Amino acid sequence: MPIPADHAQRLVLNDEVHARPYAQVEAPERISFLALFAADSGAGATIALTHLFEQMGRPIPPLDAPHVSADLGAFRLKWERHTEFTSYTFFQRGEFGAPFAASALDAVPADWLATLPGKTIVATQVAVAKAPEQLPIAREIAHNFAENSIVGSAVASGAAYVFTDFRVHADRMSRFLLLDRGLGRYQTGRVVQRLLEIETYRMMALLALPVARRVGGEITAAERDLSALTERMAGAGAEDEPQLLNELTRLAAAVESSVSASKYRFGAAHAYYELTRNRIRELREERIPGLQTIGQFMERRLAPAMNTCESVAKRQDELSARIARSSNLLRTRVDIEREQQNLQVLAQMNRRAKLQLRLQQTVEGLSVAAITYYAVGLIGYVAKAAKSLGLHIDPDLAVGVSIPVVALLVALGVRHIRKTVTRSA
């Protein structure tokens, strides 16, 4: 079309909404999911995927995209790269008896699984089966979950049932049982994806809880230190203020370091928590009598943990603000004290200047007398010399008459010099 050239990011941004398509899932099917916490943001995972495709004798697809989907014969693979973790979903379609007696991971090369980069944060199984005509009672469903208390609900407006216990079992995996009452393949894939995201995002959100517990203890200790410093400030003298300011500065640096180290984790926890709640809402749960829904379970168990993280983050901000106020108050006191000291120094300088002026005036008077003395002496010598030349001059009379004249002239000269110097200054 004759339209202007595309923006450099147009196609990338347009394809973003298609970046992670839902898989097609159809009962009966087993699904195994792994989420690996990876510091390299999935860089090592592309190497692992290359090895898997080579091992399975399949062509290697482009691995620069944020997701890869492939049919490897014995199983289907879906790989996704996220900000903090990478995920692997393995699908295996086929009839099964006990939902969790085996898993899709059984078809995956064990030596390849053992070399995957990252640490496991989520490992879960989803068994998708056709729902029976009569929904089994909770006790019968609990057999699939090691007799644990289960959580369950009708989802997708009653088109399926989902059950879980949110526990890690002996095989190191958690479990979801999805009973299909009439879901299509795409809708089943969406429900499965939401369940996996709920499990992943809740775990990623909970990564902030140990941080909150540790930081909470640090905040309590810092609050005690701040209270002690504030009490000392109330009765501190001028000589104690520099030491108090130094201690406050060290405390502020420690608190800011704690904030910097935990702020990202708390912010990420909030984002993951909101994603978890959104995915739960998208399930459109309907309550099964006698069972908690997934939403109710999360509100009772996950919400308090997130509230703890939010409370600790708020305490951090409040403590930082309190330290800043205390520091400003102490700096103000120090500045006022310094200004008073400066005023005292200026007053002393004033006194010294006055003393110097008086001394200068005294010296000026002595200088007039000394200069007059020497000038009159010279006049006396001149008078004596004139008398010796035959002039009728009385040297003593000449000296006596010249004294007041010379003294007046010298005094006027000194005064003129002082005024000239003062004016130029």
Is it the case that residue 41 has pLDDT exceeding 60? no
Is 85 or 2 the better-scoring residue by pLDDT?
A: 85
**For residue 277, what are the contacts with CB-CB under 8 A and spacing of at least 6?**
298
Whole-model pTM over 0.85: no
pLDDT of residue 40: 65
pLDDT band at 371 (very low <50, low <70, confident <90, very high): confident
Is it the case that residue 21 has pLDDT exceeding 80? no
Mean pLDDT within 398-404: 82
CA dihedral for 114, 84, 208, 200, sign (positive or negative)? negative
Instruction: Indicate the average pLDDT of the chain.
Output: 88
Is it the case that residue 39 has pLDDT exceeding 70? no
pLDDT per residue as tens digits for the range 224-275: 998 888 888 877 777 777 788 888 889 989 989 989 999 999 999 999 999 9
pLDDT of residue 221: 92
Alpha helices in 292-394 (DSSP H): 294-388
> Using CA atoms, how far apart are residues 171 and 119, in angstroms rounded to an integer?
16
The residue ranges of every structural domain in the chain are 19-185, 208-343, 352-424
Is it the case that residue 425 has pLDDT exceeding 70? no
Nearest to 33 by CA among 151, 126, 106, 170: 126
Is it the case that residue 294 has pLDDT exceeding 60? yes
